[in-house]
């Protein structure tokens, strides 16, 4: 995809989430939370200097909209946005985000239980659970993973 097409696509996604956020702000109970959301939206909308920053902006916007739908602001949105710095500096605040600089094996190792007994889904996964470790973890509700393969099991 060309650079301009990618930017246009990222801006489209951002504007869609901005539209949703504007509609959901009215449902916030506390004026303090509404003001905090508006500050975050202004901060996020100013984050468009590179493709990486635009992608992070959209990730933050996505989670902000999820929190607005729940009616409760969770970290990092329960505090003021940073006064200085870019989104790249706070990328680790996005739930479930694995930055390219981190080693997926270390993340999987951190999920191991003290006894060294990995959950069955990690043992059975062809990638050792790397895909699952990279997925966001919901604050409420459940997580479902479905895999379909064409490989037939051997009959024993």
Dist CA 38 CA 42 (whole Å): 6
Question: What DSSP string runs through 61-95?
Answer: HHHHHHHHHHT---TTTTSPPPSSS-GGGGGGGST
pLDDT in tens, the chain (156 residues): 588 888 888 999 999 999 999 999 988 889 999 999 999 999 999 888 888 889 999 999 999 999 999 888 888 898 998 887 778 788 888 765 544 445 545 544 544 444 455 566 666 677 777 776 666 666 555 666 666 767 666 665
The reply to whether 45 and 117 lie within a common domain is no
* Pick from 52, 77, 48: nearest CA to 62: 77
The reply to whether 89 and 17 lie within a common domain is yes
Dist CA 4 CA 152 (whole Å): 44
Q: What range defines the domain where residue 132 resides? A: 99-156
The reply to whether 18 and 86 lie within a common domain is yes
The reply to whether 119 and 62 lie within a common domain is no
Dist CA 107 CA 102 (whole Å): 8
- Considering 73, 93, 113, which residue would you say is the last residue of a domain? 93
**H-type helices in the chain, by residue range?**
3-25, 31-45, 51-70, 104-111, 120-124, 130-133
Radius of gyration of the chain (CA): 19
The reply to whether 83 and 112 lie within a common domain is no
- Considering 78, 93, 108, which residue would you say is the last residue of a domain? 93
The predicted model scores a pTM of: 0.60
> Residues 68-112: pLDDT tens digits?
998 888 888 989 988 877 787 888 887 655 444 455 455 445 444
Q: Please return the burial class of 122, using the count of CB atoms within 10 Å of its CB with bins 0-12, 13-18 and 19+.
A: middle
- Residue with token string 């500050």: 39
Dist CA 54 CA 57 (whole Å): 5
């Amino acid at each position: 995809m060309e650079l301009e097409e990618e930017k246009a696509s990222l801006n489209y996604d951002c504007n869609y989430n901005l539209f949703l956020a504007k509609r959901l702000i009215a449902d916030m109970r506390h004026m303090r939370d509404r003001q905090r959301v508006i500050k975050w939206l202004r901060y996020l909308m100013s984050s468009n200097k590179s493709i990486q920053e635009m992608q992070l902006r959209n990730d933050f916007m996505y989670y902000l909209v999820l929190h607005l739908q729940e009616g409760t602001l969770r970290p990092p949105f329960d505090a003021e946005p940073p006064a200085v710095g870019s989104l790249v500096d706070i990328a680790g605040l996005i739930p479930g985000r694995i930055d390219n600089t981190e080693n997926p094996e270390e993340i999987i190792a951190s999920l191991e239980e003290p006894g060294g007994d990995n959950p069955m889904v990690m043992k059975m996964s062809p990638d050792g659970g790397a895909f699952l470790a990279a997925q966001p973890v919901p604050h409420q509700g459940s997580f479902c993973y479905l895999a379909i393969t064409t490989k037939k099991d051997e009959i024993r």
